[in-house]
Structure 1
Amino acid sequence: MRYRQLGSSDLQVSEICLGTMTYGEQNSAEDARSQLDYAVAHGVNFIDTAEMYPVPPRAGTQGLTEQYVGRWLKGVARDKLILATKVAGPARGYDWMRGGPRITRRHIEEAVDASLKRLQTDYIDLYQIHWPDRNVPMFGQTAYDPHAERESTPIAEQLAVFADLIKAGKIRHVGLSNETPWGVCQFIRASEQAGLPRVISIQNAYSLINRTYEFGLAEIGQREKVGLLAYSPLGFGVLSGKYLTPSGSGRISLFPGFGQRYGKPNVNEAVQAYAELARKAGKAPATLALAFVRSKWFVASTIIGATTMEQLKENIGSAEVELGADVLREIEAIHARYPNPAP
C-alpha cells in the first residue's frame, strides 16, 4: 500500500480509503469488525464514515455506522489511523435529524459531539461538510437552478465554527464533499481573508462513468492543494459488471431510486465496453475501474466499500495493479464514445 499527502495538510493517507456506509444496513457489527481488521492489516490507515450513515438514511438506523466503527476503534492504536466523518447538510428531507440538518453553529457543534460519542474517540482527523448548506445540484442533478435558492449560512461563519472546534481539539482538519468549483474557491477565499482553517480535501464522485471532476475542480485542487477523495469509484457497483445481467443484484436493486444517475442513457453501454476491456486485459472489471481512479494524479485516496469479504479483498488488491499505456489509451477511446454518462 502506498500513501499520499492529503492536500496542504501533514496527513499521509493510504491510496485506498475504507468507506463504511453499509455498516448497520447491509453489514452487521461483526462484518464491520472483520472488514476493518482486514483493511488495516493490508495497509489501509484511512477510514471514512458520516453521521447520516448507514444508507439509505433512516431515523431508526442513523448513527449505527459510527457506532460500529467506534466499537472497533476502542481496540486499536488510534494514533495510527486517520478517521474522517461528515456533518449532514440541508434539503434532503431528514427532519428526524436535529429537526432538519443545517450547517450552522448549533448543528455543527451538536453533530460533532454526537459523532465523537458514537466513535468513542477524542478527536476526528478530517471533518467534512457532507453537502453544501446552500442550493447546488447534487447526487445526479446537473443543472443549477437559481429559483431553488434558500437561506444558507455564510461560508465564513461555517469556517469560524470549525476554527473553534480545532482550537478545542475536537477536529484536526476540515474537508468538503459534493462541492462545486465556485464553492471550493469561496471556502479558500474566506479562509485567506479571515485567517480561518483552510479546507484540505474534497470528497466527490469520480469514476470511469463520471469524470466531471476533471472539468474545473482538478485545476483548483492542484493550484490550491485540495486533495480529491474519490467516492463511488465503482458507481454503486455498476462498474463491477454485476448489473449487466438480469440476475444482477446489489444496492441499486435493494433500494430502487437510490442511484438514479446510474440509470441514465449510455451507462450500460459504457459499462459493457469497460467490462470487455477489462477481460481483454486479463483483469476483473472492478479492478480495472479502481486502478484507473487510483492512477489519476489528482486523486489523494480512492474510497472503496464492500458488502462481502470477497469484494473487499478484490478492491484492496487493486492497489497493486498498474494499468499500461495501451489500456489507458483504450479507456480514453471508450470515454470519447460515452463521455460521463453518470454525472
Structure 2
Amino acid sequence: MPLDHYVTLGRSGLRVSPFCLGAMTFGEDLGWGSSVKDSEAILDRFIELGGNFIDTANLYTKGHSEKIIGDHIGHDRQKRDRLVIATKFSGNLYVGDPNGGGSNRKSILAACEQSLRRLRTDYIDLYWLHNWDKFTPIEETMAALHDLVQSGKVRYIGVSDTPAWKVTQGQLIAQFRGWAPFIGLQIEYSLLERTVEGELIPMAQELGLGVTPWSPLRSGILSGKYTRRNAATVKPEGRQWTASYLDERSYTVIDELERIAKQLETTVARVALSWVQARPAVSSTIIGARTLAQLDDNVRALEVKLTPEQTAALDALTAPKLNFPAEFLNLAHMIQAGGTTINGQPSQLIPFGVTKKGDHY
C-alpha cells in the first residue's frame, strides 16, 4: 500500500494518508528534535510521497512546531488546502495563567486563534483535545468545539489521551444535542503498549472513531537501533524517560521482530509499524522522523505484509493483561455462545461458576 492510498478517518468522509506525519520533533527548542531546515525537508518529502495528514500541537516545541509548518506551507494556498492539518489544544504555554491551558471555553477559543496564527491558515482540519481536563465539564468543551466547527475555523474534532468513559460521555452529548462529534481517537499504541485494547479500542469501534496511534515504535525502542547484542553500549539519548522502556520484555519483542524482519527481508521498524497499522480500528498511524532517512525507512512499512503466523507470534508475545471486566466477559461470552462459532470465532462451553476441576468460584 503506498502513502497515497487514502483512508477515511473513523465514521467521517475525511480522507487521510495511512501514515500521518507527526511533527513533535519539529524544532530544537527542547534540546532534541530537527532543525528548521531538516523539518522542512521532511515535510516536503512526506508530501512528495503522497502523504496529506500532518499532526502537531500548540505545546510541541513551545509552539515552534506549528510555526515551522505554517512558515513553510502557509504561503502556498493550494498546498495548504490539499493537506489535512491537525493540531491540539489543552497544553499551557503561559506560566502563571490558569486559563492558558485546559479545555474550558476561554482557553479553547484562545488556543485556536493562536494556532491559526502560527500555522498561517484560517482553518484547522482536525482539532484534537490533547488530554482530558478534569476541572472542566465535558459539555462545556463539546459546546466550544461545536462553535468552532460552526464558525468554519475548525472542520473536524478529535480526542486524545482521555479515559474511554469520558470520551463516550462527550460523544453521546454531541449526538443527543446535534453537535459536531469526535471522528478520531489518538492514543499510544504499539507492541509494547497494548492495554488500550481493553477499553479504548472497542470504544472507538463502537462510536465510529478512527484510531491514530502515537509512539508506534515506543519512542524509538522498536526502531531496530537497540538490540540485546548492543545493550551494554547503545543507550537512548534525548528524552530521559525512553531508557526506562528497555527491559527484558522489550528485548524479547525485539528478538522476535528481528526474526520476522529477516524472513521478510525488511527492517525491525517496518515490521513493528506494519503490525500497528493492521490492527482493528486503526485508520492512520502517526510516524515521527528527525531525518529524511528515518522517514523514508518508516514509510516503506506500508509495503510490509505480515503473514497470519507472524502476526500471531507477535500477538502471543505481547498480549496485555486487561483490567476487569475484560477477562470475565471473555468467559461469559463463551458461555453465551454455547460452544458454537460466532463471527468466525469458536467458543468453548464452560458451565457458569464451575472450574474445569468442578470447583465453584
TM-score range, shorter chain: 0.7 to 0.9
Please state if 1:208 is matched with 2:191. Answer: yes
Q: Residues 264 and 129 from structure 1, CA distance in 2 versus in 1: closer, same or farther, beyond 3 angstroms? A: farther
| Residue identity matched to 1:29 | V
Please state if 1:248 is matched with 2:234. Answer: yes
1:334 matched to which residue of 2? 317
| Residue identity matched to 1:6 | L
| Residue identity matched to 2:60 | Y
- Kindly indicate whether the alpha-carbon contact (under 8 Å) linking 1:281 and 1:327 is maintained by their aligned counterparts in 2: no
Displacement, 1:319? 1.3
Q: Distance in 1 between matches of 2:287 and 2:170?
A: 27
Please state if 1:229 is matched with 2:229. Answer: no
Determine which of 14, 20, 30 is the counterpart of 1:17: 20
1:67 matched to which residue of 2? 67
- The percent identity for this pair of structures is 36
Q: Deviations over 1:133-171 (max 9, x none)?
A: 02xxxxxxxxxxxxxxxxx11111101111111121110
1:144 matched to which residue of 2? none
Q: Distance in 2 between matches of 1:314 and 1:303?
A: 14
User: Does the residue aligned with 2:66 lie in a helix, a strand or coil?
Assistant: helix
| Residue identity matched to 2:84 | I
Displacement, 1:248? 2.9
Displacement, 1:242? 1.6
Q: Deviations over 1:252-308 (max 9, x none)?
A: 422313x47625662333233323332343221000001111112311100000111
Q: Distance in 1 between matches of 2:149 and 2:183?
A: 14
Q: Distance in 2 between matches of 1:98 and 1:262?
A: 34
User: What RMSD, in angstroms, separates the aligned Cα atoms of the two structures?
Assistant: 2.1
1:125 matched to which residue of 2? 125
- Kindly indicate whether the alpha-carbon contact (under 8 Å) linking 1:14 and 1:44 is maintained by their aligned counterparts in 2: yes
Q: TM-score scaled by structure 2?
A: 0.80
Displacement, 1:176? 0.4
Aligned residues: 309
**Which residues of 2 match residues 164-313 of structure 1 at below 5 A?**
164-244=147-227, 245=230, 246-248=232-234, 252-257=236-241, 259=242, 262-263=245-246, 266-313=249-296
| Residue identity matched to 1:256 | Q
Q: Distance in 1 between matches of 2:247 and 2:169?
A: 31
Displacement, 1:187? 1.1
| Residue identity matched to 2:65 | T
Displacement, 1:7? 1.4
1:59 matched to which residue of 2? none
Q: Deviations over 1:193-234 (max 9, x none)?
A: 322221111100111111222212222222211110111011
| Residue identity matched to 2:41 | S
Please state if 1:53 is matched with 2:36. Answer: no
Gaps in structure 2 of 5+ consecutive residues: 323-361
2:6 matched to which residue of 1? 3
- Kindly indicate whether the alpha-carbon contact (under 8 Å) linking 1:14 and 1:301 is maintained by their aligned counterparts in 2: yes
User: Does the residue aligned with 1:69 lie in a helix, a strand or coil?
Assistant: helix
User: Does the residue aligned with 2:69 lie in a helix, a strand or coil?
Assistant: helix
Displacement, 1:97? 7.7
| Residue identity matched to 1:222 | Q
Q: TM-score scaled by structure 1?
A: 0.84
Determine which of 126, 137, 158 is the counterpart of 1:154: 137
1:58 matched to which residue of 2? none
Q: Distance in 2 between matches of 1:263 and 1:130?
A: 27
Q: Residues 216 and 254 from structure 1, CA distance in 2 versus in 1: closer, same or farther, beyond 3 angstroms? A: same
**Which residues of 2 match residues 86-125 of structure 1 at below 5 A?**
86-89=88-91, 96=95, 98-99=97-98, 101-125=101-125
Displacement, 1:23? 0.7
- Kindly indicate whether the alpha-carbon contact (under 8 Å) linking 2:126 and 2:158 is maintained by their aligned counterparts in 1: yes
Q: Distance in 2 between matches of 1:274 and 1:320?
A: 16
- Kindly indicate whether the alpha-carbon contact (under 8 Å) linking 2:221 and 2:246 is maintained by their aligned counterparts in 1: no
Q: Deviations over 1:47-76 (max 9, x none)?
A: 00000002xxxxxxx110000000111235
| Residue identity matched to 2:25 | T
Determine which of 80, 85, 88 is the counterpart of 2:87: 85
Displacement, 1:89? 4.7
Please state if 1:37 is matched with 2:44. Answer: yes
Q: Deviations over 1:84-125 (max 9, x none)?
A: 0000257xxx65284452111111111110000000001001
Higher Cα Rg: structure 1 or 2? 2
User: Does the residue aligned with 2:60 lie in a helix, a strand or coil?
Assistant: coil
- Kindly indicate whether the alpha-carbon contact (under 8 Å) linking 2:261 and 2:267 is maintained by their aligned counterparts in 1: yes
User: Does the residue aligned with 2:205 lie in a helix, a strand or coil?
Assistant: helix
Q: Distance in 2 between matches of 1:89 and 1:253?
A: 25
